[in-house]
Amino acid sequence: MPSPIASSVRRSLRRLVGGAARRATRARRDLSLETFGLSRDDSGALVLRGDQLASVVRAHGSPLFVVDSAALDERIAAFAQVPRGCAKGVECFYSYKTNPVPAVLERIHARGAGAEVISEYELWLARQLGLGGERIVSNGPARSDEAIRMAIDIGALVQVNHCEEISRIAKIARSLGKKARVGMRVATEAGWGGQFGEPIASERAFAAYRTMLLRSELDIVAIHTHLGVGIHDAGAVDRLARDVIGFAARLRRELGVTIAIADFGGSLAAPTVARHDAVALRLNRTFSADLHAANPSRTLTIEAYVEALVRGVEACCREHDIPRPRIFVEPGRALTSSTQMLLCSVTSLKASGASAIHAILDAGINIAEPVRNEWHQIFVDGPARDEVEYRLVGPICTPMDTLAWSMRLPRLAPGDLLAIMDAGAYFVPFSTSFSFPQPAIVMVEDGSARLVRRRETFEDMVRRDTFTRKP
């Protein structure tokens, strides 16, 4: 066991080196409240669209997901804009896996967007929300026969993921006595490969289309790709358009296949989220060096992305002398990330031998797992006060339940409310009932919060189980 003197020396060295590391790196610049439609009242309380967040938590409990309906509407409208001088824009199909909250999906669909689904459940949910096949795109590397059957039966667009799926999809279409509307997912050199799609460069993608052309059960109407890595600039959009439209031109030239739909997937980055790199995380964990917020000016706005994609596709079509296809996009993070926040509370504070105080929250990796690897702006409810270094940890009994190793926040006290921003992408689908019920979800609209998902109960957590109740 190390002696008290040795421990004291290590702490002193850590503070000394940590101070040097912080001075050597640029100062952290937080994103503003206005970026997220927030403000503070005279008492310093956080306010969203006229509603005090503390009052919303008092009504619905902590932790709590809060959806900003106005921000959601603005982002849907941005995808619907037609670039100046263009006859058409893009058609939007929201990625269900990103934030599968029915009330959110309903609002998105009511404003014109369709659904991109990867599973039988998501397809069922889209149907429950009233969508017809023409507003559904079915993707994914591991769909069940029933999911494929349902998609073909309602006339959804079925994107074939890999060559080995072709015969299975054709067989299901034949059993239904219908022609399946299909495309093939292709992988560009800059995008995801592996289990996703067939690469253009290796000729597998071209061979897949040639095989599909021989199956009378398939109606080839589309091409699909998904970059996977975040799109931040117009150059990446232009390169993607050139790769896909260039391949579509080859299909028309050599196989006589005219692509009616070019589906460019998602991957547009959320401007207010930044993924931590390994070095930054190590410096933060070891020496308390600041992690840095995203710089929204370095990421395309939705409007700029739509304009770059439409103009890029149209220019490539003119270059190759092929008809302009319908342009589909499948946004997830870019549409809903910044429209939702997670409110949570400080349950207690624990001093430690390290410089940082442990702030123990009622939200951890069970409902906020993305925070471990990404910058998410955090605001503290209440008046301004001096900043203190904290280690943000959750309620789960494992050291892995650490959301932030070192973060400077206004001095906290038990009961203080924190707002974790950008909780509208992968927070809800990655949430678990790990020792605690999952939180409620409310939607703020016109100054009032409407409950759209009630808090999970203990009974909900065991409802599917069979066991003998002891007296």
Write out pLDDT tens, residues 127-154.
Answer: 999 999 999 999 999 999 999 999 999 9
- Whether 172 is covered by a domain: the verdict is yes
204-263 pLDDT, tens digit each: 999 999 999 999 999 999 999 999 889 999 999 999 999 999 999 999 999 999 999 999
Q: Among the listed ranges 44-58, 63-77, 138-152, 351-365, which one has the minimum average pLDDT value?
A: 351-365
- Neighbouring residues of 468: CB distance < 8 A, sequence distance ≥ 6: none
Do residue 409 and residue 398 come from a single domain?
Answer: yes
- Whether 281 is covered by a domain: the verdict is yes
Range of the domain at 399: 24-66+338-461
- Whether 18 is covered by a domain: the verdict is no
Do residue 84 and residue 179 come from a single domain?
Answer: yes
Answer with the one of 312, 336, 360 that is the final residue of a domain.
336
Answer with the one of 336, 353, 371 that is the final residue of a domain.
336
C-alpha to C-alpha distance for 410 and 199, rounded to whole angstroms: 50
Q: Is the pLDDT of residue 22 over 60?
A: no
The band of 190, judged by pLDDT with boundaries at 50, 70 and 90, is confident
- Whether 10 is covered by a domain: the verdict is no
Do residue 243 and residue 223 come from a single domain?
Answer: yes
Continuous H helices in 276-347: 278-287, 302-320, 333-336
Q: Is the pLDDT of residue 15 over 70?
A: no
Do residue 290 and residue 355 come from a single domain?
Answer: no
| CATH code: domain of residue 411 | 2.40.37.10
289-299 pLDDT, tens digit each: 999 899 999 99
Q: Output the pLDDT for position 356.
A: 84
Domain count of the fold of the chain:
2
Do residue 254 and residue 349 come from a single domain?
Answer: no
C-alpha to C-alpha distance for 14 and 406, rounded to whole angstroms: 13
- Neighbouring residues of 464: CB distance < 8 A, sequence distance ≥ 6: none
Do residue 385 and residue 240 come from a single domain?
Answer: no
C-alpha to C-alpha distance for 378 and 286, rounded to whole angstroms: 21
Do residue 96 and residue 229 come from a single domain?
Answer: yes
Counting beta carbons within 10 angstroms of the beta carbon of residue 252, is it exposed (0 to 12), middle (13 to 18) or buried (19 or more)?
Answer: middle
Q: Output the pLDDT for position 459.
A: 95
Q: Is the pLDDT of residue 7 over 70?
A: no
Do residue 203 and residue 100 come from a single domain?
Answer: yes
Counting beta carbons within 10 angstroms of the beta carbon of residue 2, is it exposed (0 to 12), middle (13 to 18) or buried (19 or more)?
Answer: exposed
Locate 203 and state its tokens: 């000729």
- Neighbouring residues of 256: CB distance < 8 A, sequence distance ≥ 6: none
- Whether 158 is covered by a domain: the verdict is yes
361-401 pLDDT, tens digit each: 999 999 999 999 999 999 999 999 999 999 999 999 999 99
Do residue 244 and residue 323 come from a single domain?
Answer: yes
Q: Is the pLDDT of residue 18 over 70?
A: no
Average pLDDT over the chain, rounded to whole?
A: 93
Answer with the one of 336, 358, 381 that is the final residue of a domain.
336
- Whether 155 is covered by a domain: the verdict is yes
Proportion of the chain above pLDDT 70, given as a percent: 93
Locate 276 and state its tokens: 């931590």
* Element containing residue 375 per DSSP (H, E): strand 374-375
Do residue 370 and residue 293 come from a single domain?
Answer: no
Strand ranges in 234-352 using DSSP code E only, listed in sequence order? 261-263, 274-275, 326-329, 340-350
The band of 9, judged by pLDDT with boundaries at 50, 70 and 90, is very low
147-188 pLDDT, tens digit each: 999 999 999 999 999 999 999 999 999 999 999 999 999 999
Do residue 387 and residue 324 come from a single domain?
Answer: no
- Whether 120 is covered by a domain: the verdict is yes
Residue identified by tokens 């603005």 is 74
- Whether 1 is covered by a domain: the verdict is no
Do residue 395 and residue 440 come from a single domain?
Answer: yes
| CATH code: domain of residue 181 | 3.20.20.10
